Structure 1
Amino acid sequence: MKALMAVSALGISLLATTTLQAGDVMVVYDASGSMWGQIDGVPKIEIAREAMSDLLATWPASTNLGLVAYGHREKGLCSDIETAMPVGPVDRDAFQQVVNGIMPLGRTPLSAAVQHAAEELSWRDAPATVVLISDGVENCDADPCALSEQLARQGVAFTTHVIGFDLATDEHQHLACIAKNTGGMFLPAQDAAQLAAAVKQVGETIAKPAPEPEPLPEPEAELPAMSISAPETAMAGSSFAVSWSDPVHPRDWVTIVPVGADEGTYTAFHRVGSDGGRDIVAPAEPGLYEVRYVLNDGDVTLARAPIEVMGAEASISAPETAMAGSSFGVTWSDPVHPRDWVTIVPVGADEGTYTVFHRVGSDDGRDLVAPAEPGLYEVRYVLNEGGVTLARVPIEVMAAEASISAPETAMAGSSFGVTWSDPVHPRDWVTIVPVGADEGT
């Protein structure tokens, strides 16, 4: 059997196959610019490399492995997709070296990259399973939902399991449809620990032998009885508890949608499993909604509970000025959701724009770093749900000044003393380069 595992947000897509030899794997590596985004101050590209290192450390030595990368050579080219390493016996050091050398740059041709890998693995001729882990959605004018329908329809047995990594809840539907169209699982993961658990769960699922198909159930005269409960109100972007009676099937799901939405509509959704309840996140847009329990078989709503989503409020404070590149303190009111974030952006920047950002967690303040470019900025408190700015405060970033001194001459290979004025930020650095070298060299 051929299994295709695509991991793109961590930045990684894993494609495992067993057509001619059990355990063949093609890794599709997401090198789009969004990989420079940070989670709790750590760039996602670093999280991706660490995750790949952990994966390689436990992967069987007999497994054939290959690598496809996209978005790493041209900033705006949607066709920037490359087979970086052909499928072959595992060489962990060489593989990790190639992964570490890929730098995020371009766009996210997610659909074309999965199609590229599928073609190399002859998905029309043999069963194929895709596991997609993504930190972003398609931005190359392609429709991954339509692609997944095509792959499922034209392939021998094409299944896609999807892990949405560090995505806003309203973005889940753009990836969840891939799993739904191909009979796979959709698992949200909001941090490195949840990602590791989700990858492990999917890996264990793929490793299990395929079950014998279950016989079609006899037609039922009536739908099963079901009840669901939720609070009468919830704040936009906040978590709230939902509970239900005994699940009909573990693949059934719960979701929150506007009142009167069509059958089968969903935003974020969660499989019920064997549980009787869990937390879900309220949409960013206030209004009248309903929480639904939906049968996986036929997308039939068995139970619904009304809920009004109220507008969320927050306040934020920061100093009026800060020196470029320096740290400054930011405080805010009680967090709406621990995955909300604070950032500093130019005045008038589009909603959802960010430079460096920090999750609010359960705290009420932390330090941010001022941009290197002087000018007028604002510090924002942003809902993780929908990227909606709840509060903002202006701040002027002033030009930083520093002085440095060194001897006029030094012998090649020798040590020499360097001194400088008060540091702007402890992470600033000193170096020696040829005269006229580019900035950042």
Structure 2
Amino acid sequence: MNKKIALVSLLVCAAASSVQAEERSMLVLDASGSMWGQVDGKPKIDIARDALKTLVAAWPEGRSVGLVAYGHRHKDDCADIETLLPAGAVDAAKMGAIVDGLTPKGKTPLSAAVKHAAEALKYTEEKATVVLISDGVETCNLDPCALGTELEKLGVDFTAHVIGFDVNKVEDQKGLRCLAENTGGKFISAANAGELKTALEQTAQAPEPEPAPPPETKPEPPVLPKATLTITPAEVIKGAEITINVESAEDITGGGHAHLELFKVGKNVAAEHQYVYEDKKAGGYKPATLRVPSVAGDFTVKLLTRDKKHVLAEAPLKVIEAEVKLLAPAQAAPGSKVEVKLDAPLGLKGEVRLYPQNGTKQVGIEYVREDAIENYKSMKFTLPEVAGAYVFKFEAKPDKKVMAELPIQVGGAQP
């Protein structure tokens, strides 16, 4: 699929939820130096310009929209953020002329730019939506995750949708994804046709309802198959993985697949998505797994029909802040074996690694495995022969986030 078409489609989908409600929206465009990079032989800034023009050309009349850009005036300037068009009635020609005049030059202060746009929309007083288009990571030492939490806390009804354009590495997507999730918005990666299709399915909004037919021709409601959902565990710490079992004696896939979507209570945009398929060998339906967002709160898992028009079943899920810690001796002899335990609720996956204090090269690793009695099995480490200060770290999958640390002194303390 052509990357320009993909980006246009993603922009329309990300903006859809904002234009359906009576709130103001602000587009934030990355005009940093990296936008001179090419995709399919064309500079990314040119693809972004065309995408924005297509978006605003179809923007509904009477709905407010504005434009913020960053990195377009100076090099190495984290304050290079400018409101190019205040939120107001759309003027497609004017916005097109403005984006055509942008020349990528500088850094990527994406967090400050999103906050700038939110403040321009008076997000603490009114409903507001920001759509960020960026091809890279934050380069100005701000934390997108922390910003998302702040905006969600202070905003009346604030949402940030983030489009990662040509951001292919999982590590580079991390901050962009977190910013969106922490405000109840959607992170969408414009990378390839397969990912684009999935992103569009997750972000697509229900169509406007058809006018009610005359009473005498009102169709009978569809007879939907009955189904139940079982979530394991039903209460999970943020960032952990859950398993969802679907039970039904009827066909819920329509000969293809059904959908599982995770919603934060009070939000209408899915935070995560997974497909449901028949288990043709064992019968029934294959269990599905989802990794919950890195934000605590009450969520709902919904089972949707193949066309996503009907909810077949739903189940509550609580994502909690929970203490995650490692248990091990504070001191042990060089070359000896020690037992290390992960003390945390079920649902986490990853590894416990041993590092020299202030070092980055591991000297030991054990994999975390669940246990029916103590949640997680004990791990045995053989300590280094070299005395000194070391530290155990639990690194959770899939992003190797360090969720717990524990120091250990090998041999006597250094003078």
Query: What TM-score results when the alignment is normalised by the length of structure 2?
Result: 0.48
Higher helix share: 2
Query: What TM-score results when the alignment is normalised by the length of structure 1?
Result: 0.45
